[in-house]
Structure 1
Amino acid sequence: MTEDERRGVDLLVAVARGVIELGSAARASAFRLPYPPVLQLALDRMVLAGLTQGTPVPHGVPDLLSWIRERGPETLPLALPRDFLTAEARLIHPAGGEATRTCAELASYGPHGVLEQEAAALMAELADACGTEERFETCRDFLISRPVILRYDPVQLMRPAVAMTWRFVKGLYAPVPDRFAADGVLYRCTGCLLLAKLLASGGRWCEGGCPAHDGELESSHQPEQALVLPLSLRIFLALPGRAERAVRSRLSERVRLIPRGLGLHCITSGDGTLRTYQVHDREQPVLAALRAAETDARLGEPLDIVVPDELVASPGYRESFNRALPAGARVHLLSVSEFTALPPVDQERGSHA
């Protein structure tokens, strides 16, 4: 990566963090001036770069937001490494008007990342509060299966089977931002279990990016009774949690959760050795690879990254992921089906020396 490309990536990451901060407002009235300083500063830097290069620039924050909603980041006046992002990447969904998974992944990139790091910190606090691995795993599964509670019912949550778990996790939930309710109706996707919208075009949008055939939309006419996890946990815990549960359901007797980070697991191999894996569900293979390499370096041992089958099947995803791995990274990308195939631990590992 050249110095100009590094500056371009840093600037794009700043824009993504500004979009995430702007979207964290619970009420529409909070979108008034001043805009988040990180977003305003990123715009100023972008305008300066554009004027220096003689290229078109956004005219203010509203124009910048329209720009990244209607066009890809490669059209901005900044240098980016080739194939750093996938084709058609957007920071704001053109129809849904919300920050995309790509935006969330960019906002988490680098030493000053804000979103994935927030999710990891929240899980670390929960693990400390739980005290035991078993209780933490139960609480974590609760969050994965209920990122959006459409109808908060205190009676149901005080039942003996869930009352203890709810006591530990309830502080992570908050009211749903009012911009998600249209005409008094709030939607949740049954595929990814995340927030959703019906679009004026007749289509639908959901945070997990599910195809229309992957799930229906559930609705509530009392959005004020709904609760939701923070975006960080919806994207970096609950979303990959679908694939994680699929892995555990097939290999449950040999899988153990490591109570740190966002979902490191170990599995016992046929010869009795332990193999560490983490489940990802990320749009951007380059960013996923760089994050996996950081985890691998902290672990000091080989790491399997397991992703939904449809991601590995996406044209170029595996190739982009492997190409982005730093030299020496002991990371192996596998689909859920590949990882859970028998024997699950005797596949040849890739070494990127």
Structure 2
Amino acid sequence: MTLSTTTPSSTTPSSWSAYSGLPLLRTIATGIVQLDKGVQPKGQVYPAAAQRALDQLVLLCLRQQVPPPRSVPDMIRWARTIPVDQWPLELPEDVAGVGELLVDEATNSPTQACHEWVVDAADATAEQIENRLMGHAIDQCRSSRSPQAYTAFRRLLISRPVLTGVEIASLLGEDGGIFFKPTLEVIKQSYQRVPASLQVDGQCAACRRCGCLLTPLAGGGWRCELDRCRYEGSASIGRMLGWREDGGLFQIARPLRVFITGPGRAETELEAQLAKLGLTITMWPEYDTYDLHVPLPGGGVWAIDVKDRTNPALLGRGARPFRSPPRFDRAFLVVPDYRFKQRDGYRTIFNRHRPEELRGVVDLVTSSELVTMVRKEIRAAKRSAGVRQEAGNA
């Protein structure tokens, strides 16, 4: 059965308000995420957003003479089995990727695409856990005048998304070092006790690639929740951890894993690649004004923000001018290469939905394209230095 009423797109950012299905899609995504978190107001069977999403979706289906979902669980079944571009929603053609699901079929948990729609919701952005916690960390580090503390906290979330109770106690104690002192309270809020659903016979498996905990599958085996790890192949276990040992296991919240740990891998890998070229990189300068501050040998400075997003339309729609200080000459949004391979026309879709005032101001490139551009800048600087030296010797 084809449900789609997707509209062909000649969309500009300002025309999003013309598509009535977009607010409903955000509401559906919010309801799904709240269900996954176990958010259940007193006296209600389901979270308000989930029930509201069902009610609105049923009305829309009835108007369009499409059989509606019969219940919230049936709506979740839609989200797990019917791609968003086939729902009876009035959406621009390129907003939802072909085959894009809101709930992962294997783990029955919200996909990254679902989380991105929640972030896009105008009334939800300020409530996002990653914004609240990261903002608190920035405030604490700024008041302590310690940008190093923020960098240490950020690297912790990227490199160690899973900690034992003993390890957390060590961080919160004297062994944690001076750099963690401004963010101790945020660290406690960021790491949550691992639920029993992630253990098998008292053991949890950490992903070899990202370090996050793998989800055990009903039929056996494991699955990583991060898109990049799944793109790179089958789940690979890096280490097994006792669920109850060493004070129990704690993992950073799902939004932090999706929007901090995931892109953080790409950020630190890019940092390492540029450092190998002889550049001195500053990470998250001025308390996360952007991700990488890249001084070039020719005297220019590039500002880089890394985004590991599945939806280029939402990425373009949410793009904003880079802030300073520190100063920069060019600004780039950098996306891991695999995203361009996953989604045909990624750059075209981004450019279509990017605010008009950012054209020529913020450019979208892949990680490999950025490294190639830096190599060219380095070669040009060496040639220029050689010419000056020859002129000086003449």
Matches within 5 A, 1:76-91: 76-91=87-102
- The alignment status of 1:170 with 2:181, answered yes or no, reads no
CA distance in 2, matches of 1:83, 1:343: 31
Q: Which residue of 2 aligns with 1:336?
A: 367
Q: Which residue of 1 aligns with 2:356?
A: 327
Q: How far did residue 70 of structure 1 move?
A: 1.2
For 1:251, what is the secondary structure of its paired residue? helix
Quick check: 2:222–2:235 contact (8 Å CA) kept in 1?
Answer: no
Q: How far did residue 147 of structure 1 move?
A: 1.4
- The alignment status of 1:53 with 2:84, answered yes or no, reads no
CA distance in 2, matches of 1:37, 1:320: 33
Q: Which residue of 1 aligns with 2:224?
A: 206
CA distance in 2, matches of 1:40, 1:334: 40
> Deviation string for 1:299-334 (max 9, x for gaps)?
798531112222233333233223332323232122
CA distance in 1, matches of 2:18, 2:206: 39
Calculate percent identity across the aligned residue pairs: 28
Alignment match of 1:254 (pick from 265, 280, 286)? 280
CA distance in 1, matches of 2:173, 2:45: 45
Alignment match of 2:136 (pick from 110, 125, 130)? 125
Quick check: 1:17–1:114 contact (8 Å CA) kept in 2?
Answer: no
Q: How far did residue 339 of structure 1 move?
A: 1.4
> Deviation string for 1:132-166 (max 9, x for gaps)?
11121111111111112256445754786634455
Alignment match of 2:259 (pick from 224, 227, 236)? 236
For 1:136, what is the secondary structure of its paired residue? helix
Q: Which residue of 2 aligns with 1:220?
A: 241
Quick check: 1:120–1:261 contact (8 Å CA) kept in 2?
Answer: no
Distance 1:38 1:205, change over 3 A: same
Alignment match of 1:10 (pick from 6, 23, 32)? 23
CA distance in 2, matches of 1:313, 1:48: 37
Q: Which residue of 2 aligns with 1:351?
A: none
Matches within 5 A, 1:84-163: 84-114=95-125, 117-130=128-141, 131=144, 132-149=146-163, 152-153=166-167, 157=171, 162-163=176-177
> Deviation string for 1:61-86 (max 9, x for gaps)?
11101110111123333211102111
Gaps of 5+ in 2: 1-10, 379-394
Quick check: 1:285–1:317 contact (8 Å CA) kept in 2?
Answer: yes
Quick check: 2:85–2:97 contact (8 Å CA) kept in 1?
Answer: no
- The alignment status of 1:296 with 2:321, answered yes or no, reads yes
Q: How far did residue 173 of structure 1 move?
A: 1.4
**TM-score computed with the length of structure 1 as normaliser:** 0.85
Alignment match of 1:21 (pick from 28, 31, 34)? 34
Distance 1:53 1:213, change over 3 A: closer
For 1:341, what is the secondary structure of its paired residue? helix
CA distance in 1, matches of 2:174, 2:274: 29
Quick check: 1:199–1:205 contact (8 Å CA) kept in 2?
Answer: yes
> Between Structure 1 and Structure 2, whose CA radius of gyration is higher?
2
Gaps of 5+ in 1: 348-353
CA distance in 2, matches of 1:230, 1:84: 27
Quick check: 1:308–1:335 contact (8 Å CA) kept in 2?
Answer: yes
Distance 1:155 1:17, change over 3 A: closer
Aligned length: 343
CA distance in 2, matches of 1:181, 1:263: 37
CA distance in 1, matches of 2:35, 2:96: 22
For 1:296, what is the secondary structure of its paired residue? coil
Matches within 5 A, 1:39-50: 39-50=50-61
Q: How far did residue 296 of structure 1 move?
A: 2.0
Q: How far did residue 345 of structure 1 move?
A: 7.8
**TM-score computed with the length of structure 2 as normaliser:** 0.77
Alignment match of 1:284 (pick from 311, 320, 326)? 311
